[in-house]
Structure 1
Amino acid sequence: MADVAARAGVSGQTVSRVVNGSPRVDPATRARVEAAMAELGYRPHRAARALRTGRTHTIGLVVSTLATVGNSRMLQAVSDAAASRGLALVVVTLHAEVDGGIASAFERLEDQGVDGVVVLNEATLLARDVAPPEGLRLVVVDAPAEDAAGPGSSAHPATASARNGRPGAGQAGAGRTGTAQTDHAGGARAATRHLIALGHTRIRHLAGPLGSYAAAERERGWREALENAGLEVAEPLRGAWTSGAGHTAAALLDDAATAVFCANDQMALGMLRGLAERGLDVPADVSVVGFDDVPDARDYRPPLTTVRQDFDALGEAAVSALIDDPSGGGAVIPAQLVERASTAPRR
């Protein structure tokens, strides 16, 4: 650092500010320091910085599985948001834990000195009943609002147990629990209202698994839209996020149904195949809507009407709540209906 300061003609403190991304350096000086760093091949030593500052510039991510499209896309989004801040990412999948489940995951991440942890989707349900190590800051993605109650609340063990942050672990909100979530219910309402506007009155729902907050919210949005329109709410079919589950559900769909709202695009894909095997045309006989807008959705046959989740915005909101936001987050990302050829007016 002294060599860089001498080459750039600045103080060591100025070099330190540039290295740590401080805004208290004018652009011309920053450019001169960065040029000197490049010329000398200077790179900050992560371990040394951690010893000096008490921060590792590493965050953890806990996920139950990476086999589902939503979780894998969230991993990419969180990874990108972390990288944009110069943060490293450590991933723990719960199925890979030998013993201890999510408690063991928290301990492993604490041992690696992470500055905070993002807990994804289904893993948030497990985190509700486990107190993380004291001072470990959490942000839960797609979890009930009560899971981000204020410090001292009993709604989430993290808020009650994590009172004092690890020295230097973060200048604001150490030990808090924040949330970031997609507006699943709003997206589901939009999808169901779209089908109602097309004249469909018997709209079935292929729901996600019990215990999934996202699945429950999507089911709630579907129910509310039907109830507000004065239409019958039939008991949902239920699947496990897979195309196979959608294929199985298609065989169980009653003949009176003219539309199906599927809780994700994979189940919608299986539904399309299953309906075709029954001799039913989509959308002439049955309209189908999915959720997520995976990259392949436009190439389904027919191209799938679906609700788009903004995974990039959700990942950015989660990392921002963990690192940047003293209030602990609470961001709700809108979901957008994307109309394609799998829906049509009821015949």
Structure 2
Amino acid sequence: MAMVASRAGVSGQTVSRVVNDSPRVDPATRARVETAMAELGYRPHRAARALRTGRTHTIGLVVTTLATVGNSRMLQAAAEAAERRGYALVVVTAAGSVAEAFERLQDQSVDGAIVLNEASALTQPSDAPAGLRLVVVDGAAHHATDLAPALRSVSSDHAGGAAEATRHLLSLGHPSVHHLAGPADSFAAAERELGWREALRDAGIEAPQLVRGDWSATSGYAAAASLEQATAIFCANDQMALGLMRGLSELGRIVPDGVSVVGFDDVPDAANYRPPLTTIRQDFAALAEAAVAALVADIEDAESAPAILIPTRLIERESA
């Protein structure tokens, strides 16, 4: 650091401020220090900084699986958002116990943790270690932020998106809208079912019996037999919609001429389904950005909202 200060013609304190991204450095001086750092190959020493500040600049990510589209996209976006803020990311799986996952993160001295989707549903008040800053993504904590004193929550507007999808199908002239729902223990699936029911109730329509899948295209394909008579179907995710459309076509039901289908998520391949899928877009990058920003703000004792709701958007294509 002394060599950087000498090369840039500044004090050691100024170099420290640049390293710690302090706003108390004017742009010209910051550029001169960063040039000197690059020329000398200077990099901050994380372990030394942790001893001095009590922070490791490392955050954890707790998941049950990375096989789902949402979790894998969130991991990518969270890693990028953390890197932009100078934080490293450690991923742990909660195969059976979120409490054990938290213990593993504490062993690695993380400053805080983000809990994703299915892992959020498994999180209990007793799981949260004292002092560990937490952000829960798509968990019941969005409605009750008391799992831990330092808890923050970030969620997509699942209910609002589902209601928009249902209203869109009704606007096409369908007398009702059927629902291919996600797993019963999923927070996102429950919220999407809620939005579907509320939109039908607001339209004065009794909700038909829902059919439940497990998020996979295979379960969507199997559900086609139970939805053969429907004219409009809102699917709780795009993969189930894909399987459903194949199953319906084998039963002689043509999308969208005989039946309209809307999905949820807007996975990258949705525009290349046959027909291209009308769906509700979740902004996974915005979810991850909000989760990382809220956690880092909490770690650094800055203000952040206890609950953040990320809007969704209807993407109209050819299936409805």
TM-score (norm 2): 0.96
Alignment of 1:280-291 (within 5 A): 280-291=253-264
1:48 aligns with 2:48: yes
Alignment of 1:73-88 (within 5 A): 73-88=73-88
Following TM superposition, by how much is the alpha carbon of 1:121 offset from its aligned partner in structure 2, in angstroms? 0.6
In the aligned structure 1, how far is the partner of 2:259 from the partner of 2:182?
20
Whether contact under 8 Å (2:286, 2:310) holds in the other structure is yes
Whether contact under 8 Å (2:142, 2:154) holds in the other structure is no
**Residue in structure 2 matched with residue 272 of structure 1 by the alignment:** 245
Identity of aligned residues (%): 67
For residues 83-105 of structure 1, give each alpha carbon's deviation from its aligned partner in whole angstroms, at most 9, with x where no partner exists.
Answer: 1111110001122xxxx621110
Following TM superposition, by how much is the alpha carbon of 1:146 offset from its aligned partner in structure 2, in angstroms? 5.8
Question: What is the DSSP-based 3-state SS (H/G/I as helix, E as strand, rest coil) of the residue aligned with 2:167?
Answer: helix
In the aligned structure 1, how far is the partner of 2:310 from the partner of 2:120?
18
Following TM superposition, by how much is the alpha carbon of 1:208 offset from its aligned partner in structure 2, in angstroms? 0.6
Alignment of 1:10-29 (within 5 A): 10-29=10-29
Question: What is the DSSP-based 3-state SS (H/G/I as helix, E as strand, rest coil) of the residue aligned with 1:133?
Answer: coil
Q: Which amino acid aligns with 1:316?
A: E
Whether contact under 8 Å (2:142, 2:307) holds in the other structure is no
Change (3 A) 1:328 1:181: same
Structure 1 residue aligned with 2:198, among 209, 224, 238? 224
Structure 2 residue aligned with 1:338, among 312, 315, 320? 315
In the aligned structure 2, how far is the partner of 1:267 from the partner of 1:254?
15
**Residue in structure 1 matched with residue 104 of structure 2 by the alignment:** 108
Q: Which amino acid aligns with 2:3?
A: D
Residue ranges of structure 1 left out of the alignment (5+ in a row):
150-154, 160-175
TM-score (norm 1): 0.89
1:71 aligns with 2:71: yes
In the aligned structure 2, how far is the partner of 1:147 from the partner of 1:192?
23
Residue ranges of structure 2 left out of the alignment (5+ in a row):
none
Q: Which runs of 4+ in 1 moved over 3 A?
A: 145-148
**Residue in structure 1 matched with residue 272 of structure 2 by the alignment:** 299
Change (3 A) 1:146 1:202: closer
Question: What is the DSSP-based 3-state SS (H/G/I as helix, E as strand, rest coil) of the residue aligned with 2:152?
Answer: strand
Aligned residues: 316
Following TM superposition, by how much is the alpha carbon of 1:182 offset from its aligned partner in structure 2, in angstroms? 0.5
Question: What is the DSSP-based 3-state SS (H/G/I as helix, E as strand, rest coil) of the residue aligned with 1:61?
Answer: strand
Whether contact under 8 Å (1:148, 1:177) holds in the other structure is no
For residues 241-291 of structure 1, give each alpha carbon's deviation from its aligned partner in whole angstroms, at most 9, with x where no partner exists.
Answer: 100010011111142x10110000000000111001101100011100000
Change (3 A) 1:129 1:237: farther
In the aligned structure 2, how far is the partner of 1:274 from the partner of 1:267?
10
Q: CA RMSD in A?
A: 1.3
Alignment of 1:1-347 (within 5 A): 1-95=1-95, 101-145=97-141, 148-149=144-145, 155-156=146-147, 158-159=148-149, 176-255=150-229, 257-324=230-297, 326-343=303-320
Following TM superposition, by how much is the alpha carbon of 1:148 offset from its aligned partner in structure 2, in angstroms? 4.9
In the aligned structure 2, how far is the partner of 1:93 from the partner of 1:245?
25
Q: Which amino acid aligns with 1:15?
A: V
